[in-house]
Structure 1
Amino acid sequence: MTIPAPLAWAAEGLAFALELAALAALAWWGFTRPGSRMASIALGLAAPLLAAVVWGAFAAPRASFTLPLVGVLAVKALVFGAAVVALASMGHRSLALWFGVVVVLDTAVITSLRGGE
């Protein structure tokens, strides 16, 4: 399937924005957890950092480790799924649902554009 270049760039840009939004959702979740202030700060920093390291190692276009497509999609499902669960657990169920739907649709488009690499 061939789509115009501007639409392909838009899909890639949306994918990057969704990746940043997932990191933001994980940070938001961590910083707002009940408990001690230090634990919340640590979780707010550690959750998105861990997700970014895993993403960079296995799911980024220039990942450190090459996985087959199913592995890359599993890592993406793990990171985006964690963001969806984080949003839902904070009471933002509609936002979590919409975020998840947009992620699935954009990931499908990106995967097809890249030829299932």
Structure 2
Amino acid sequence: MEILKSINLAIRFMLEICTLIATGMFGFSLSKNIILRVVLAIVCTAIIAVIWGLFVAPKASQRIELPWRILLEMVVFGIATMSLIRTNHVYLAMVFAIAVIINQILLLICRQ
């Protein structure tokens, strides 16, 4: 059982990284100017990273309690899903959203 819990946490980490990539792609898609594209990609990614780091991460300084943390997690993952849709990666967005839902259910069942 411990191996499955570890695998689930590793998948969660990959979903978090995918969230940063998706929001960065969204920021990059907002302009035609290459400098502005890079800046927007960095800013969008940084906003998500700061929110996650402050309120959701296990060692967050201001970690919020359940069920509010789950709600914030789903909002952030929802933003990533919408970012994928907005950048014309609809099927990837569907796979990502399903993976997030399954992962969250397993986290709750395993009390992680």
Provide the TM-score with structure 2 as the length reference.
0.92
Measured after TM superposition, the shift of residue 68 of structure 1 is 1.8
- Residue of structure 2 in register with 1:14 after alignment: 11
- Residue of structure 2 in register with 1:77 after alignment: 74
Q: Secondary structure at the match of 2:14?
A: helix
Runs of 4+ in structure 1 over 6 Å off: none
Query: Which of the numbers 37, 59, 62 marks the counterpart of 2:59?
Result: 62
Structure-2 separation of matches of 1:90 and 1:66: 31
Within the alignment, does 1:43 sit opposite 2:56 as a pair?
no
Greater Cα shift, 75-84 or 27-36: 27-36
Query: What are the ranges of 5 or more consecutive residues in structure 2 without an aligned counterpart?
Result: none
Measured after TM superposition, the shift of residue 16 of structure 1 is 0.3
> Percent of aligned positions with the same letter in both sequences?
27
- Residue of structure 1 in register with 2:27 after alignment: 30
RMSD: 1.3
Between the two proteins, the alignment pairs up a number of residues equal to 112
Structure-1 separation of matches of 2:44 and 2:75: 13
Measured after TM superposition, the shift of residue 40 of structure 1 is 1.3
